[in-house]
Structure 1
């Protein structure tokens, strides 16, 4: 068993509250926004305001209207202590738990193809989880439960088996499922409980049903058809962000910020590395119903609309050293993607989420 920085690893699977509320409910979008009513304001100024928040190393943001760049901004620095120059606004960054929405879209595509059912149980799809008692209630937990975080399966991070600064140990999906089995259930089947283990299991299901690795299915089903040319799924122990980008930091046991650019991508299921352009393309396609059949669209977790009178939704992801948020109009016409690198414990970074939301309200002209 490995000693852990538990608070750090917990962030490998944390999504912002409003986004997880939408994930739990599987809600459809509210009324479409009228894009012409949105007044896109100064993106650069909004990003400068985010970068001025305590604990931020650097911040970037880009706004898109109908797939075209409508504004961008960068502030702070690529590296700690003002070093490395500015982060290129179009650079890659880890989108963390926003990856889960992409993974759910793939699962629902498989349902639409008749290769999987939402009512299929874990025992039926991954019989070894029941036969070896790796998942409690595997004969009752369905694919739908996993997508909506209502399986009650504990988060493997709570086991204490993993170390955020471990860059030498390769973990399998099964390692994480077994770790979750060592943790007592906190809720009953059917109750909402956010757990990354759900999406580790969905990844296993994707691979079992398709016979291909997750990275290949993400590429074939999402990245290539949507033209997300700068996006890839990190799955290796040393997968780093390609090209010039912002570095995030996380305090070690002595409180010294350590560069966590080398996240161990074999832990968790939040491995997508993307850009503002590409992640905006994903949410545009999701909003326009181009990813899954219309009759299954509501099954894809869709973040709850929360800004501009309920016509702008948002999804966020957080992991050590990075917060990323994408805001998007519910008709798919407008997206505003923000990535913020940190030098503090994410649990201390609540003000950064508030600053990001304020930036979106300012850029979209819906503040107040």
Structure 2
């Protein structure tokens, strides 16, 4: 599979493009409509929550060729790397219970497991390195053959050339390993642990982990359109049915815009983690410095700090074939999630970031 398409499979970096210059003249409705009009995407949804008020803007169709209106903000979609903030909060909840130490080597919890090319060694990598994307672990999605699943994704990553330890390098492998750490310290699957510690307490009732072999999306949802990683030569096709279980802790969740906004409210409102844990997640973010991210972006524990028109916003992006999403919270407490049922690249990418900025800032 081509490198470009592999990157879309579970990487939030795909959905975090440089933010467009300050805008003027049109509102959120126009920006969402531009995604499906000028942008040519099938459907787009923006959900905004501010205090007790909330509203939804949508455009396009839920299924090409049917005329069916686009679904609302309570319908489900694959969130891709918006999974990572949920996994990060799960790890912080375990740290609060003394089951995980953020400064401990990964070797403590996965003895002998992390040994790879170029001197990669779990005795040197700390849990917080995984959270902040500074471990040096190569991204398994860059080398996996998605026509052959399941695979040993960690083994694939460990056979690749590592990135420099201590420097930000976005890698889905970091969260793959965090899922393994959660499994090891709890004796349960990380999916169950995240449900118990994050999804259920925050009343994210429409969010779920796909089961092994499950291809469809439960409940109301839109069809999604993109390049199928198994057959990229076919061009843009309906990719609603995907093996979401394989995306795991790095990008496997299915959720709704309303649930994602509840997540941000819970994290920053004191219901998801303690004030001490939130400070740890946000106090010392590492400079990103990678192409495709806003110039001043910094990455904390499972979420990025960016500067938009309204100031500081903590957020994350996500992308799988057929979906691109941006979701986050402003310093004033406004939460917003915007997603499209297609891959947002190039000008579409700019339109998506423009719509998100309008949603979270206005």
TM over 0.5: yes
Unaligned runs of 5+ in 1: 22-40
Q: Which residue of 2 aligns with 1:218?
A: 194
CA-to-aligned-CA distance 1:32-75 (integer Å, 9 cap, x gap): xxxxxxxxx96544321222243411111121122442x21221
Q: Distance in 1 between matches of 2:270 and 2:87?
A: 16
Does 2:28 correspond to 1:48?
A: no
Question: Within 5 Å, which residues of 2 pair with 1:125-274?
Answer: 125-130=109-114, 136-159=120-143, 161-163=144-146, 166=147, 169-171=149-151, 175-185=152-162, 187-251=163-227, 252-268=231-247, 269-274=250-255
What SS does the corresponding residue of 1:56 show, helix, strand or coil?
coil
Residues 131 and 324 of structure 1, relative CA distance in 2, 3 Å threshold = closer
Q: Which residue of 2 aligns with 1:326?
A: 327
Query: 2:15–2:325: 8 Å Cα contact kept in structure 1?
Result: no
Q: Distance in 1 between matches of 2:360 and 2:131?
A: 30
Deviation at 1:146, TM superposition (A): 0.6
Q: Which residue of 2 aligns with 1:31?
A: none
Query: 2:15–2:319: 8 Å Cα contact kept in structure 1?
Result: no
Deviation at 1:339, TM superposition (A): 1.3
For normalisation by structure 1, the TM-score amounts to 0.81
Q: Distance in 2 between matches of 1:290 and 1:218?
A: 14
CA-to-aligned-CA distance 1:138-177 (integer Å, 9 cap, x gap): 1101101111111101011222x322xx4x7334xxx111
Unaligned runs of 5+ in 2: 19-25, 282-300
Q: Which residue of 1 aligns with 2:271?
A: 290
Query: 1:67–1:281: 8 Å Cα contact kept in structure 2?
Result: no
Q: Distance in 2 between matches of 1:352 and 1:131?
A: 40
Deviation at 1:240, TM superposition (A): 2.3
For normalisation by structure 2, the TM-score amounts to 0.82
1:113 maps to which of 97, 118, 124: 97
What SS does the corresponding residue of 2:226 show, helix, strand or coil?
strand
RMSD: 2.7
Residues 202 and 363 of structure 1, relative CA distance in 2, 3 Å threshold = closer
Q: Distance in 2 between matches of 1:108 and 1:6?
A: 33
Residues 217 and 46 of structure 1, relative CA distance in 2, 3 Å threshold = same
Deviation at 1:14, TM superposition (A): 2.0
What SS does the corresponding residue of 2:216 show, helix, strand or coil?
coil
